[in-house]
Amino acid sequence: MRAVVINPNALVGNNGGQRTARPTSRIKNMIIQTDHVDLPTQNGLMRTEILRPMADGKYPGLILFSEIFQITEPIRRTAAILAGHGFVVAVPEVYHEFLPAGKALAYDTAGAEQGNQIKTTKTIAGYDDDGRAALCFLKSHPACTGKLGVMGMCLGGHLAFRAAMNPDVRAGVCFYATDIHKRSLGKGMADDSLDRLKEIKGELLMIWGKQDPHVPREGRSLIYNAMTDAALNFSWHEFNGQHAFIRDEGPRYDAELAFKCYSLALELFKRKLGEGDLPAAESGAAKETKH
């Protein structure tokens, strides 16, 4: 287990020209701890990294699904940002049955080719079982409140979309989710994600880059219309960004846009996984009357 400090030495304020350090209690809240577990799945053990606040207490849980490159340093930094805002974050290795535990693919042509090859070798059933295993583990984690959300990028965006079909998931954030519009995820390249839309009961935040060639305008329109026709609870944002614009490594990273999107995601998770924002039936609120 290791502790990760998110900017603990930041100095704030001004006192007669002297900068004042943050209070110790505030620094403690910005420290997270990391660990890993090997979760049993139908296709063997799945290495899963766990990041959470070091401060005692219970926090909502998030599953973060990675790109085709598995758990890279940019994915770890995204997980750290989420955990540092008060969440227990589980990051599973999406290709655990094909690669050694702890293996991440490089952000290069060879890594992309291998990741894409495995993407359509693994079965849809395998992806779904992995998602359920991670959700089940997180729900029973002693530091988790049992309120769950999901998030992912690229391949992970599609996996988060499918994981949101589990009834325990209250909120999901999907960054430029690939293959939904083409129904091309998994072995046989014939997934049923669009057919199962109505199984999603939580609120979704869908984020896209207009300059992303993997999900063109026609594909985004197809997904938007299908979600609207299914009467899902979702918000939709299209930005001037390329594929993987949130990945803080490489030429496509857009820092300003990334922070804007993190804010949107955190707002959703804090609202849906906190103590408020219950459905009307659960909260006991009276139905709106006609005027």
Give the residue numbers marked as catalytic: 154, 212, 243
What's the CA gap between 69 and 113, in Å, rounded? 10
Is 66:155 a contact under the CB 8 Å cutoff? yes
For residue 37 the two structure tokens come to 């577990």
Strand order in the sheet with 2-5: 2-5, 31-41, 44-53, 88-92, 59-65, 144-153, 169-175, 203-209, 234-239
Q: Which of 84, 86, 83, 67 is nearest to 75 (CA)?
A: 67
What's the CA gap between 144 and 89, in Å, rounded? 10
Largest CA distance in the chain: 68
Instruction: Taking the CA atoms of 99, 100, 104 and 109 in sequence, report the sign of the dihedral they define.
Output: negative
